[in-house]
A and B are shown apart, each in its own frame.
Chain A
Amino acid sequence: MNPTEAIPLLIVVLLLVSIGGGEVERMDVTFAGDHDVEAIDDVHVVAGGTTTVPSNASVAGDVYLIGGSIEVHGTVEGDLTVLAGNLTVGSAGTVTGTVEQYGGAVSIAEGATIDDLVQFDVPVASNTPARQAAALLLQFLALGLVGVVLVRRRPSLLENVGDAIVGHPLVSGVVGSLAAVTLLVLFVYMAFTIVLIPVSIVGLIAEGLIVVYGQVAIGYLVGHRLPIGRGDLATVAGIGVLVLFLEVLGVLPVIGAVVQLALVVVGFGAVVNTYFGLARFEPASIPSGASP
């Protein structure tokens, strides 16, 4: 795990440390390599490589695992939190605090001593056809509801976004990809400042809503090409077709993902370029020919 990949989980750790009253300034992070740890400075985070607490060592402080592995053969005088990666507590290993497992794998050998083991079962999405169908239905209902509300109350919004998608797909795609990526990077880095975490969360949710808006607009466009008279029904039907189409695309290995991504960024850009549908997108006009 490189530092960039570790950032989201590091943010979680920073939050947990701050909430727990730990000293963030005294936190060490290991990203790669094999390390024997005999002492830690209040908090130690393992993000990669293998960190071992040797059998003769006793380390005082809290340990967080977000990637790589930890092997405890000695004593950890503190809590051990596992968000990702592999934790092994050997038969002679001791954790005087609580081992909390939110993710990753925990293996505790017989004879190991731990004060308490708390395992939070993160619901794992199973891929049964019924669950898939339910998720699809839920997605369709949510998008359909937004579509119906928009078509009934302010049809011009979807019309403007739709026109930008059909009339200017390249510009929409360029602006969409640029805006989506830069905003995503910006919000992730904002989160890392801790102070701006609320702004970051709001921003990421807003980005998600723009994606949803773009998809509703594409559904609206599809619906208006179907032989259905009523605008709201046509939109709902179009959204249904779009949701199914996206699902089918998901089955295709590379092309499917590329088309899905293209639809997302074009929709995103069209929403941004039309100021959320409030104005039609008119590209700049460049005069050509001899000057008068």
Chain B
Amino acid sequence: MVAGYYYNITFVQLGLIDLGTRLVGMSETVVSMWMGALAVCTLLVALATGVAMDRRGWSTDLRTKLRILFGVVLLQFLLTLVAPTIRTTPAFGAWIVGASIGLGVGFPVSFSLAIDLVPVPDRGIVAAAITAIAYFGANAYPLEWSIDVFSGLMLAAMLPGLLILGAIASGRIDPIEGLLDELSGQYHEFGTGRFCRPTSVRTKSLAFAVPLVLMFGVFFVDSLGFLRIIDTPALLLSSWQSPELSTRLLIAGAHVAGAVMAGVIYVNFSLERIFLWTFALFALTHVIYTSDLRMAEFFPTLADPGSSPLNPMLYAVAVSFYTTLNFALWPDLATAETIGTHAAIGVGVAGWLATFSSTALALYFQAADLTLLSHLNVVQALSLLLVFGLAVGLYGRRMAAAAREGRPT
């Protein structure tokens, strides 16, 4: 999961922009449209995969899932190998289709491994560990955001994983087979998620739809804001792409702290509480970003380099919060029979569709020549609306419950 997520946040999200703009020669707008296409294709492939997994019983068959995963990693290895050689738009488009098949098949399968490998009470902590390691690696290690650099690193990192998965998938190594025999029955114990007791959460129910909408909101807000932040050299060079190791380490440390906090809160509090914290952190982060920009507008000398790392650190904490939640939530909203569909809809709609929509909106903002402050103002408004909406929703639910209790019989 760590490797997969690291691949996603570095190679797919950042490497593709470099590949499209620098090597293929497309404009940033065209690359963003291709990335939107990648998101939609991934969602469609994921939905088909998730439904097929549940209907055909692959969700509860550990060996089948590992074989599919081997195929996915092999495909991604080949795609990563050829990526730096792409020079034409049709080749870039073909690469996008291939990548969306890999991602779309890969993430429902990898999320479904939780029912075989992670006990329900440990999911918050395991999700926190995945988030912390992936983000720490992505932020602390000073990589240039170019497809060649990402490709080289990914190939080196994927090769051992590919060999191990190949050995597991072959079914010919006795000690591994023994271990798989032991693990393959664990879904009976780990399969029913935290929020599926005593009754399982149905796909067409509010209990599934509400977290889905909230996660869509948080992915959308994050993506919409971050797209503009990484497009602003002054903000980027003083944070995620800072030449100072100490700044990057501070951000990486904030990611780890945020993940640990989210893990602890996920395990000890209700789902509403962690959603409230996530939205509150995002709202606060964007309030600070926009306040700083207003201040800079007011006092132009503020635009001096050497600004405080507080903003990206708080941003990192908020991102780690929802990423941890994303890893733990979908398996916990599913049973062994629904994990494929729920993970596909959850990650697909909340993650990929939100990314697609926010990219489209960001492009519209770009075409409308929206200033940085105006852009982040929209993001701030959305994040404040999410906090307020959730708080009102929770209060309304309690009010309704109180009214039901007080109703004369």
List chain A positions with a Cβ less than 8 A from chain B. Answer: 2-5, 25, 27-33, 168, 170-171, 174-175, 177-178, 182, 185-186, 189, 192, 283-284, 286-292
Can you pick out 6 interface pairs between chain A and chain B where the beta carbons lie within 8 Å of each other? Answer: A25-B298, A27-B298, A178-B265, A287-B120, A287-B197, A290-B188
A168–B194 alpha-carbon span in the complex (Å): 21
> Which B residues touch A182, using CB under 8 A?
280-281, 284
Q: Are B308's CB and A2's CB within 8 A?
A: yes
Asked whether, in the complex, the Cβ of B267 is within 8 Å of the Cβ of A4, the reply is no
Number of A-B contacts (CB under 8 A): 84
A42 to B304, CA, bound (A): 22
Q: How many residues of B contact A (CB 8 A)?
A: 39
Contact present for A31 and B301 (CB under 8 Å): yes
CA distance A216 to B372 in the complex (A): 47
B261 contacts across to A, CB distance below 8 A: 174, 177-178
In Å, the complex CA distance between A182 and B304 comes to 26
- Whether A29 contacts B299 by the Cβ 8 Å rule is yes
User: Judging by beta carbons under 8 Å apart, are A30 and B301 in contact?
Assistant: yes
Contact in complex: A174, B304 (CB < 8 Å): no
Cβ contacts under 8 Å, B307 to chain A: 2-4
Q: Which of B85-93, B106-114, B285-293, B348-356 contacts A (4 or more CB under 8 A)?
A: B285-293
Q: Is the CB of A291 within 8 A of B284?
A: no
Contacting pair B265 A175 (CB below 8 A): yes
Q: Specify which of A25, A189, A291 lies most central, judged by the most chain B CB atoms within 10 Å of its CB.
A: A291
Asked whether, in the complex, the Cβ of A32 is within 8 Å of the Cβ of B306, the reply is yes
Given A284-B269, A286-B194, A288-B121, A171 and B295 contact (CB-CB distance below 8 Å) = no
Task: Tell me, in angstroms, the Cα distance from A175 to B119 when the chains sit together.
Answer: 24
CB–CB A286/B269 < 8 A: no
| A284–B119 CA distance with the chains assembled, in angstroms | 16
Are the C-beta atoms of A185 and B284 separated by less than 8 Å?
A: yes
Smallest CB-CB separation from A292: which chain B residue? Answer: B198
Question: Residues of B at under 8 Å CB distance from A?
Answer: 119-121, 188-189, 191-192, 194, 196-198, 260-261, 264-265, 267-270, 277, 280-281, 284, 287-288, 291-292, 295, 298-299, 301-302, 304, 306-308, 310, 314, 335
Chain A residues closer than 8 Å to B191, beta-carbon distance: 291
Distance in Å: Cβ of A248 to nearest Cβ of chain B:
28
- Chain A residues within 8 Å of B198, by CB: 292
A4 close to B308 (CB less than 8 A): yes
The reply to whether B264 and A171 contact each other, CB–CB distance below 8 Å, is yes
| Contact status of A284 and B308, CB under 8 A, knowing A174-B261, A186-B284, A290-B189 | no
Partner of B291, one of A170, A192, A288: A192
Distance in angstroms between the alpha carbons of A289 and B268 in the assembled complex: 18
- The smallest beta-carbon distance between A178 and chain B, in angstroms, is 6
> Which residues of chain B come closer than 8 Å to A189, judged between CB atoms?
287-288, 291
B residues less than 8 Å from A289 (CB atoms): 189
Partner of A29, one of B265, B270, B302, B306: B302
Quick check: A286 and B120 within 8 Å, CB to CB? yes
Chain B neighbourhood of A286, CB < 8 A: 120-121, 194, 267
Chain A residues with CB below 8 A from B268, complex form: 168, 171, 283-284
Q: Enumerate chain B residues within 8 angstroms of A4, measured Cβ to Cβ.
A: 307-308, 310
Given contacts A3-B295, A177-B261, A284-B269, whether A290 and B302 have CB atoms under 8 Å apart is no
The answer on a CB contact under 8 Å between B299 and A2 is no
> Is B288 touching A283 in the complex (CB atoms < 8 A)?
no
User: Please, which residues of chain B bring their CB within 8 A of the CB of A292?
Assistant: 198
Nearest residue (CB) in A for B287 is A189
Shortest CB-to-CB span from B255 to chain A, Å, is 15
**Is B299's CB under 8 angstroms from A27's CB?**
yes
B299: chain A residues at CB < 8 Å are: 27-29
Q: Are A31 and B288 in contact (CB under 8 A)?
A: no
Instruction: Indicate which residue in A32, A185, A283 contacts B304 across the interface (CB closer than 8 Å).
Output: A32
Per the bound structure, the CA–CA distance linking A82 and B6 in Å amounts to: 51
